Structure 1
Amino acid sequence: MKKSEFVFFLLLIAAVFDTDEVKAQEYKHESGGMLGISFYLGDANKTRLYLHPGFTGGILYRYNINFHWAAKANLLAGKVSGNTRDANTVFPLAQQTSFNRTFIDWGGQIEFNFLPFSDKFTYKDAKPYTPYVFAGAGVTFATGSKPFFNTNVPVGIGFKYKIKERLNIGLEFSVRKLFGDGFDAAEKNADWGLDAPYGIKSSIFKNQDWYSLTMIFLTWDFGIRHDPCCE
């Protein structure tokens, strides 16, 4: 055996039996909590961000497919509110009203990390931080004299950072498009119906409600994934 081949053989053995490498494997799962604020966009607030913000909190689970891709599920509860006096809109019958709702949001998203995300694997150019984008689907239920239930499509951006092994922190901003116009229905205007609570007809592409979430999350990794080269 040539000297170069012998050295390569020794390096290969060292890689296979490197216990530090095995210990430092990526984890497949993470779960934790989210806290933040929510606000509503619709007939009573067309464009103003963070108008009448409400508190939102919940739990999340993330499955890390690889360094770049992850699948996430969340269960959130929060508040939204609005007042037509804040809108530069003339409503039918010159009505003015306000609303308050508590909502529950359950859904899932697919995330894409712009950088390979890990605090290990520097030989693969992995980083302990990354910006990311996500999109998915979910359902929204809201309380009130006319309860609201509808599907939503979440789209958002975020940033995550590994504080230490297994512990992650992040911040994300998202908007949830609803396929209905009754999210802002209140007692005073509920008789107009959930399809047009302000007397303004809507369609799938026009005049339907949205709400937005700005959330901070803290998660814990579990479920070690072994690198095939080390098994």
Structure 2
Amino acid sequence: MKESKFVFFLLFITATFYVNDVKSQEYKHEAGGALGTSFYLGDANKTKFYQYPGFAGGALYRYNINFHWAVKANLLAGTVSGNTTGANNVFPLAQEASFSRTFIDLGGQIEFNFLPFSDKFSYRDAKPYTPYIFTGAGTTFATGNNLFLNANIPIGIGFKYKIKERLNIGLEFSMRKLFRDDFDVTEKNADWDLEAPYGIKSSILKNQDWYSLTMIFLTWDFGIRHDPCCE
């Protein structure tokens, strides 16, 4: 009985601080754009970051729950490409392949700020900058004769800074895990392609393709919380 009361007390204290923290944020929303670069990891490129980099850009929206937590939605587009020529991989019968795709990424993430993020509320030890981490879920669509549509899981890190009131700039790096192995196959080949280059079919945890985004974003705060300190 004593243990259950203690657990209830801890939950109550945690909830109280959470509610107070939610109400301490000045602005609820952010919206803006992002520009950057993208690259692919898969059978044509196992380990080299930023090999054949492409262009990426799009729009994002962020809902600030409190100083430490935010929820973000993004609509991004970019290009990725790959080429097995000169790669360390040796494929059966010395086969080679190359590809190029344009992709669209629609997704949502939850972010955790390591520092309480705000350019005000110094009495709460808030800072106008913070590193953060994020993860979530999304959908990737890519062009080509072999159209690609699949779920992705983003895992990333970032840093954001308030340039001035209501204006934010940030940089983030993320890896997007896919659950198919034919992101690097724009045209299906009956004899050989990069979906199963060694004749071994992939599974949900084996031989899946990835792509990465490195983005600089600029956002504008809006949706002020009325009397944010005391409501």
TM bucket (normalised to shorter chain) is: 0.7 to 0.9
| Counterpart for residue 176 of structure 1 | 176
Report the counterpart of residue 145 of structure 1 in structure 2.
Answer: 145
- C-alpha distance 121-228 of structure 1, shift in aligned 2 (>3 A): closer
Offset from partner CA, 1:182-209 (integer Å, 9 cap, x none): 1000337476578536644212222110
Moved more, 94-103 or 62-71: 94-103
Within the alignment, does 1:42 sit opposite 2:42 as a pair? yes
- Give the structure 1 partner of residue 26 of structure 2: 26
Pairwise mapping of residues 182-201 of structure 1 onto structure 2 (< 5 A)?
182-187=182-187, 189=189, 192=192, 195-196=195-196, 199-201=199-201
Change (3 A) 1:126 1:188: same
Q: Distance in 2 between matches of 1:172 and 1:60?
A: 13
Residue pair 1:25, 1:120 contacting (<8 A) in 2 also: no
Structure whose CA Rg is larger: 1
The TM-score, its normalising length taken from structure 2, stands at: 0.85
Q: Secondary structure at the match of 1:123?
A: helix
Identify if the C-alpha distance between structure 1 residues 209 and 183 changes in structure 2 by more than 3 Å, giving closer, same or farther: same
The SS at the match of 2:196 is coil
Q: 2:10 matched to which residue of 1?
A: none
Q: Which amino acid aligns with 1:44?
A: A
Unpaired runs of at least 5, structure 1: 1-23
SS of equivalent residue, structure 2 residue 112: strand
The alignment of Structure 1 onto Structure 2 pairs a total of residues equal to 208
Amino acid corresponding to residue 133 of structure 1 in structure 2: I
CA spacing shift, 1:45–1:107, aligned 2, 3 Å: same
Name the residue aligned to 2:206. Answer: 206
**Structure 2 partner of 1:91:** 91
1:230 Cα offset (Å): 3.6
AA aligned opposite 1:209: D
Identity %: 81
Match for residue 3 of structure 1? none
Q: How many Å separate the matches in 2 of 1:75 and 1:226?
A: 30
Which residue of the partner structure matches residue 158 of structure 2?
158
Checking the alignment, whether the CA contact within 8 Å between 2:196 and 2:202 is kept in structure 1 is yes
| Structure-1-length-normalised TM-score | 0.85
The 1:229–1:170 alpha-carbon spacing in structure 2 relative to 1, beyond 3 Å, is closer
